[in-house]
Amino acid sequence: MRTFYPLPTALGPAFSVPDAVAAGVSRRRLLAPDLLRPFRGARTVRDVVLVPDPVPVAGRDPSSAEQEQVDALRRVHAYAPVMPSHAFFVGPTAALLFGAPLPQGLHAQLHVGVIYPQTPPRRAGIRGSQIMPHLVTTADAKGFHVADAASTWASLAPFLDLSDLVAVGDHLVQQPRYPGSGDAKRAPHATLDELAAAAGAGRRIGIGKLQQALPLLSTRAASRPETHLRLLLREAGLPEPEVNEDIFDDDGTFVACGDLVYRERRVVVEYEGDGHREPAQFQRDIERFQRLTEIGWLAVRLTSAHVYVDPGEAVRRVRSALSRSQPR
């Protein structure tokens, strides 16, 4: 088996050719087959995984969308060493670095921006763009230079339909908290005011869609399907529910945190993704729904099939539960 002399550890698993040469690596070594060439002037170590594969959930193999996102993140790591110092990730790529829930098909290229009038990068696999200074503020996300969360959201209108634009906005303004206590887990990536300011910063593609999305945003939504379900019920004319709110019994004991809560009707609507099929979560769900029943609540449990395949059935079930429930 052929071996190659080791590279300087300071280079790490992804590096630029100029940095390697400056560290004493020969041009011949940089052409060795143990190194990959993902971008012109960039190298990655073939046997090093820059981003791990998605973790299977409840025995389900990772979806093609999850694999696409991991592949894009690996390309982000590979490109970063050769990205111009004045450039930053924007659009779907920046949203990915903020952990935003995106539909499939947005990551064929990495999206990289520069402030006008600088020249955007041009190379295979990169979609460069010039951005007017008043339309973007930059920040760091996962160690990479990006458009900040609010600027990123405002730039996504050309790429997303209204429901996904709301879902990404929900993710960015979400205030994660510990159920039952109200204590925050972390600060949100952005505030509603910051998203509104970014949307109104000036003329941009999709500004009408941004203005339409703003009043639909929630600081409590915890997932893309939950947002889609909430918008589906709203579109059907059902009352606006509380989002990810705590439910207590008459003695003030915490019972559950419901995805969508109709408190006056004692109805809770739950979206159950694959994680609910994990044995430990499945057992917790049984106990939780038993307690909700004991204190007089109706639970409507929905899956992706209801939200995305037969949304009319999802609406029917929620409407039926609201009509059958007893107001407080």
Structural domains of the chain, with CATH: 83-216 (no CATH), 224-324 (3.40.960.10)
Listed residue (68, 82, 75) closest to 20, CA to CA: 82
Give the β-pairing of 267-271 and 298-302. Answer: parallel
How far is it, in rounded angstroms, from Cα 199 to Cα 136? 10
What's residue 60's pLDDT? 79
1 pLDDT more than 60: no
Tens-digit pLDDT profile for residues 84-112: 999 999 999 999 999 999 999 999 999 99
pTM assigned to the model: 0.93
Q: What percent of the chain has pLDDT over 90?
A: 86
Stretch 163-192: mean pLDDT, rounded? 94
The dihedrals phi and psi of 57, each to the nearest 5 degrees, come to -120, 125
Tens-digit pLDDT profile for residues 276-296: 767 777 888 899 999 999 999
Give the β-pairing of 267-271 and 254-262. Answer: antiparallel
Q: What percent of the chain has pLDDT over 70?
A: 98
Could you give the count of Cα atoms lying within 13 Å of 219 in the half-sphere of its Cβ? 13
pLDDT band at 326 (very low <50, low <70, confident <90, very high): confident
How far is it, in rounded angstroms, from Cα 241 to Cα 232? 12
What's residue 63's pLDDT? 87
Mean pLDDT, the chain, whole residue set = 94
Contacts for 303 with CB less than 8 Å, ≥ 6 apart: 271, 272, 273
Tens-digit pLDDT profile for residues 42-95: 999 999 999 999 888 777 788 888 999 999 999 999 999 999 999 999 999 999
Q: Which amino acid is at 88?
A: F
